[in-house]
Protein backbone atom coordinates (compact mmCIF):
# COMPACT_ATOMS: atom_id res chain seq x y z
CA UNK A 1 0.00 0.00 0.00
CA UNK A 2 1.43 3.29 -0.96
CA UNK A 3 0.90 6.15 1.41
CA UNK A 4 -0.61 9.52 0.64
CA UNK A 5 -0.45 12.99 2.16
CA UNK A 6 -3.79 14.61 2.93
CA UNK A 7 -4.70 18.28 2.67
CA UNK A 8 -4.09 18.58 6.42
CA UNK A 9 -0.37 18.82 5.53
CA UNK A 10 1.24 21.96 6.96
CA UNK A 11 4.27 21.84 4.62
CA UNK A 12 6.66 21.53 7.54
CA UNK A 13 9.31 19.86 5.33
CA UNK A 14 10.15 17.02 7.74
CA UNK A 15 8.84 14.08 5.68
CA UNK A 16 10.64 14.63 2.38
CA UNK A 17 14.21 14.04 3.59
CA UNK A 18 13.13 10.97 5.56
CA UNK A 19 11.94 9.02 2.50
CA UNK A 20 14.59 6.47 1.46
CA UNK A 21 12.97 6.06 -1.97
CA UNK A 22 12.65 9.78 -2.73
CA UNK A 23 8.92 9.24 -3.24
CA UNK A 24 7.92 12.46 -1.45
CA UNK A 25 8.03 15.73 -3.35
CA UNK A 26 6.64 19.26 -3.08
CA UNK A 27 3.37 19.43 -4.98
CA UNK A 28 1.48 22.55 -6.03
CA UNK A 29 -0.18 23.00 -2.62
CA UNK A 30 1.23 20.34 -0.29
CA UNK A 31 3.75 17.54 -0.32
CA UNK A 32 2.78 14.50 -2.37
CA UNK A 33 3.87 10.87 -2.55
CA UNK A 34 4.62 9.05 -5.79
CA UNK A 35 2.85 5.68 -5.38
CA UNK A 36 5.25 4.13 -7.88
CA UNK A 37 8.15 4.80 -5.51
CA UNK A 38 6.48 4.40 -2.11
CA UNK A 39 7.21 1.06 -0.43
CA UNK A 40 6.08 2.21 3.04
CA UNK A 41 9.79 1.86 3.82
CA UNK A 42 9.69 -1.92 3.27
CA UNK A 43 13.30 -2.94 2.65
CA UNK A 44 14.65 0.02 4.61
CA UNK A 45 12.82 0.32 7.95
CA UNK A 46 10.18 -1.46 10.01
CA UNK A 47 7.85 1.56 9.95
CA UNK A 48 7.21 4.27 7.34
CA UNK A 49 9.57 7.06 8.32
CA UNK A 50 7.36 9.86 7.01
CA UNK A 51 4.53 8.69 9.26
CA UNK A 52 6.90 8.60 12.23
CA UNK A 53 8.03 12.22 11.81
CA UNK A 54 4.78 13.85 10.65
CA UNK A 55 3.62 16.26 13.38
CA UNK A 56 0.00 16.39 12.18
CA UNK A 57 -0.57 12.71 11.30
CA UNK A 58 -1.67 13.43 7.73
CA UNK A 59 -0.07 10.42 5.99
CA UNK A 60 -2.54 7.50 5.77
CA UNK A 61 -2.57 4.51 3.45
CA UNK A 62 -3.72 5.49 -0.04
CA UNK A 63 -6.88 3.44 -0.73
CA UNK A 64 -6.28 3.76 -4.47
CA UNK A 65 -2.94 1.92 -4.16
CA UNK A 66 -3.48 -1.08 -1.90
CA UNK A 67 -0.51 -3.45 -2.03
CA UNK A 68 0.57 -6.45 0.02
CA UNK A 69 3.86 -6.54 1.89
CA UNK A 70 5.15 -8.96 -0.75
CA UNK A 71 4.26 -6.51 -3.52
CA UNK A 72 5.97 -3.68 -1.61
CA UNK A 73 9.07 -5.86 -1.27
CA UNK A 74 9.07 -6.50 -5.04
CA UNK A 75 8.73 -2.77 -5.68
CA UNK A 76 11.64 -2.11 -3.31
CA UNK A 77 13.78 -4.62 -5.23
CA UNK A 78 12.87 -3.02 -8.60
CA UNK A 79 13.73 0.42 -7.26
CA UNK A 80 17.10 -0.82 -5.99
CA UNK A 81 17.96 -2.27 -9.41
CA UNK A 82 17.08 1.03 -11.10
CA UNK A 83 19.63 2.95 -9.03
Which residue ranges form the domains of the chain, and what is each CATH number?
16-82 (3.30.70.20)
| Backbone torsions φ then ψ of 12, nearest 5 degrees | -80, -10
Tens-level pLDDT at each residue, the chain (83 residues): 799 999 999 999 999 999 999 999 999 999 999 999 999 999 999 999 999 999 999 999 999 999 999 999 999 999 999 87
> Using CB atoms within 10 A of its CB, is residue 38 exposed (0-12), middle (13-18) or buried (19+)?
buried
Residues with Cβ within 8 Å of residue 49, at least 6 apart in sequence: 15, 18, 19, 20, 41
pTM score: 0.93
| Backbone torsions φ then ψ of 21, nearest 5 degrees | -100, 0
Amino acid sequence: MALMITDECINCDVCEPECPNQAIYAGAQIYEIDPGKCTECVGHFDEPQCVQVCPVACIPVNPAHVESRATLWQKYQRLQLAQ
